[in-house]
Amino acid sequence: MSAGESSVRLTVGQALVRFLAQQRTERDGVEQRFFAGCFGIFGHGNVAGFGQALAESAHRDPAELPYFQARNEQAMVHAAVGYARMKNRLRAFACTTSIGPGATNLVTGAALATINRIPVLLLPGDIFSTRVANPVLQELEDPRSYDVSVNDTLRPVSRYWDRINRPEQLIPAALAAMRVLTDPAETGAVTLALPQDVQAESFDWPREFFARRVWHVGRPVPEPGALDRAVEAIRTAQRPLVVAGGGVIYSEATEQLRQFAELTGVPVAETQAGKGSLPWNHLSSVGAIGATGTTAANELAREADVVIGIGTRYSDFTTASRTIFARPDVRFVNINVAGFDAAKQAGESVVADARTALTALSGRLAGWAVDPAYRTRATELSARWQETVDEAYGIGREAAKAAKPGQLLAQTEVLGAVNDAAGERGVVINAAGSMPGELHKLFRTRDPKQYHVEYGYSCMGYEIAAGLGVKMADPDREVIVLVGDGSYLMLAQEIVTAVQEGVKLTIVLVQNHGYASIGSLSESVGSERFATSYRYRNPKTGALDGDVLPVDLAANAASLGADVIRAGTIDELRSALDKAREASRTTLVHVETDPLGEAPSSQAWWDVPVASVSTLESTRRAREEYDGHKPAQRHYL
Ligand SMILES: Cc1ncc(C[n+]2csc(CCOP(=O)(O)OP(=O)(O)O)c2C)c(N)n1
Ligand SMILES: [Mg+2]
């Protein structure tokens, strides 16, 4: 296209900033800007291209595409994911990086985004398209092809991946990127790799490229035949059970789920991403399902003849590695906006938005309900589990039975205090270690957006970075980041960004000197807790079983700019959480817990294969137990 009124000459970087600023989503008549801003770390791969464009944009209009500094590229993707998840995927962030290590640091974050189906736009710099100066600093140099760069590592973890080798390629690529980012069935990480020379090249862009563009996020309706089959399956069920996944929350279908449950009496169990679909004390709620589930949900799952999965991808934790739905004749009805997930477990596939499908189902099932005795049984099972929660949280524990001085707190008591501190709307964030499982079964969720546990990728280091994004998405909510010492040591540096931006987080650091979770898993598979605690190497044994290390993570957090409170007892913890809530600055509460403490059992299995031959007695015993569980595993054909 030649220069003229219908075009505008800009670099690729400048054009991309302008384009991103004009993208909008609309759902249910509510229109909003899609990109809340851009996280970035600069190097030679983006400073002169996209970085220059951001600088120019900040001069023109600081609100056009606000820039936020991060300390680590992986962490900035986590922050972006935290934000987009909180916004039910209707708003998101872009992330700009340099080439080489800045780009490959994105890979873990991208995998997390894609697995959890959360949109994020990644803009790594790439090696010269002209190749005139190659190899450039940080170039991989594949002897088989100069077409390869480290950014190719982002291909399998991106839902859309493209490299912009000529300026005009940006036009179709940017549109394709937006299509994927705003499509709930397809979304995840989207990568546009930007060669550093191309970013700075200019082109006469058609003005329409920068027009305000609205991406309509629809609510696909069920195909009539599919709805008929689903209704028929549910009507003939004696023991139906809903499994509510993240799709219920992203679709904002919690009210429709409540109506469906009240109308039909079908009990509702929740996956990690779906937790909060019903308030914990709703009569139809049986809480968490699967390997980290409640005994109530799991008992009903074992008896269920029809499982109604809504917005779930049936991870191994949800299905207890395909053992929890135990009836030989169990059938599945799957409502999912993604055909890929709807087809799982050979179920009746209803490809539709959760809200639309639930409304349709409630209409078609009017007058039908489960046997009242089944309803009562679900309620009773739940009530029994809630007594277990009270016990684990230490509610009603007499003073005489309270912890003795010097005795470490149980992690479940810490979670009880955090549950109280979160109140009606506070958001609790976690991702890896022993806490996700305990939170899943214990946490009493009152609001659909208050339980933010990333358990698609269960990525250590997500917690603090995601807290930043969550708080940016909803500054009115108290945000409580629960983080283990292992996770903290992996990726804590976004505390600095939170302090810089005045984004106030409460961080509860649970110090148990190592990997309580993997320690207990290790023991259960006969690996004797090998190398799962942080200890000095013992000169006598040669193993890592010496003294506890002199590590002070509270001091570390203070050095990064956080206010710090150390809590030793449950009363100190509760008062620290009160103080943190009132504080205006990011506050870290440091608490030590017993690494050997246990949460109540879910009575469910998780498939982690055990060595089939071993000289260790512990391993042989674990293998025997494993062999005992294995036959219960189903294909669900
Ligand atoms: C990035 C990453 N590496 C490794 C793992 C495997 N893993 C899961 S939990 C865990 C230990 C977590 O330790 P910590 O945060 O202290 O929590 P704790 O188990 O003590 O509750 C490890 C190593 C993971 N989930 N993520
Ligand atoms: Mg730990």
Render pLDDT for 553-580 as a digit per residue (tens, 0 to 9): 999 999 999 999 999 999 999 999 999 9
**CB distance 460 to ligand 1 below 6 Å:** yes
Atom 3 (ligand 1) nearest CA: 460
Which band of pLDDT confidence, cut at 50, 70 and 90, is reported for residue 397?
Answer: confident
Does 599 have pLDDT greater than 90?
yes
**CB distance 459 to ligand 1 below 6 Å:** yes
Does 4 have pLDDT greater than 70?
no
pLDDT in tens, 415-464: 999 999 999 999 999 999 999 999 999 999 999 999 999 999 999 999 99
Token pair 């039909």: residue: 264
Does 399 have pLDDT greater than 60?
no
Which atom of ligand 1 is closest in space to residue 432's alpha carbon? 9
**Residue 532 CA to ligand 1 centre (angstroms):** 9
Q: Which ligand is closest in space to the CA of residue 512?
A: 2
Q: Which ligand is closest in space to the CA of residue 484?
A: 1
pLDDT at 413: 97
Does 581 have pLDDT greater than 90?
yes
Q: What is the CA radius of gyration of the chain?
A: 26
Does 404 have pLDDT greater than 90?
no
**CB distance 512 to ligand 1 below 6 Å:** yes
Determine if residue 431 is left, alpha or beta; phi over 0 gives left, psi from -120 to 50 gives alpha, anything else beta: alpha
Atom 1 (ligand 1) nearest CA: 460
**Residue 487 CA to ligand 2 centre (angstroms):** 8
**Residue 343 CA to ligand 2 centre (angstroms):** 38
**Residue 498, token pair as written in the block:** 């939170």
**CB distance 485 to ligand 1 below 6 Å:** yes
Tell me the mean pLDDT in the region 316-342: 98
pLDDT at 625: 97
pLDDT at 613: 97
Atom 7 (ligand 1) nearest CA: 433
pLDDT in tens, 470-486: 999 999 999 999 999 99
pLDDT at 136: 95
Does 401 have pLDDT greater than 60?
no
Which atom of ligand 1 is closest in space to residue 484's alpha carbon? 15
**CB distance 515 to ligand 1 below 6 Å:** yes
**CB distance 434 to ligand 1 below 6 Å:** yes
| Residue 28 to residues 214, 294, 363, 530, Cα–Cα distance (Å) | 13, 35, 20, 53
**CB distance 374 to ligand 1 below 6 Å:** no
pTM, two decimals, is: 0.98
- Counting residues of the chain whose pLDDT is more than 90, the rounded percentage is 97
Tell me the mean pLDDT in the region 172-182: 98
Which band of pLDDT confidence, cut at 50, 70 and 90, is reported for residue 407?
Answer: confident
pLDDT at 561: 98
Dihedral (Cα; 440, 380, 313, 625), 10-degree rounding: 70
**CB distance 432 to ligand 1 below 6 Å:** yes
Tell me the mean pLDDT in the region 530-556: 95
**CB distance 270 to ligand 1 below 6 Å:** no
Report how far residue 255's alpha carbon sits from residue 264's, in angstroms, rounded to the nearest whole number: 14
pLDDT in tens, 23-43: 999 999 999 999 999 999 999
Which band of pLDDT confidence, cut at 50, 70 and 90, is reported for residue 398?
Answer: low
Which band of pLDDT confidence, cut at 50, 70 and 90, is reported for residue 403?
Answer: low
Q: What angle do CA 414, 419, 422 make, to 5 degrees?
A: 125
**Residue 484 CA to ligand 2 centre (angstroms):** 5
Whether the bond between 135 and the residue before it is cis, its omega within 30 degrees of 0, is yes
Instruction: Give a three-class secondary structure readout of 351-377.
Output: ECCHHHHHHHHHHHCCCCCCCHHHHHH
Atom 8 (ligand 1) nearest CA: 433
**Mean pLDDT of all residues belonging to the chain:** 97
Helix (H) or strand (E) holding 122: strand 120-126
**Residue 185 CA to ligand 1 centre (angstroms):** 30
Does 544 have pLDDT greater than 80?
yes
Does 1 have pLDDT greater than 50?
no
pLDDT at 405: 65
pLDDT at 395: 86
pLDDT at 301: 98
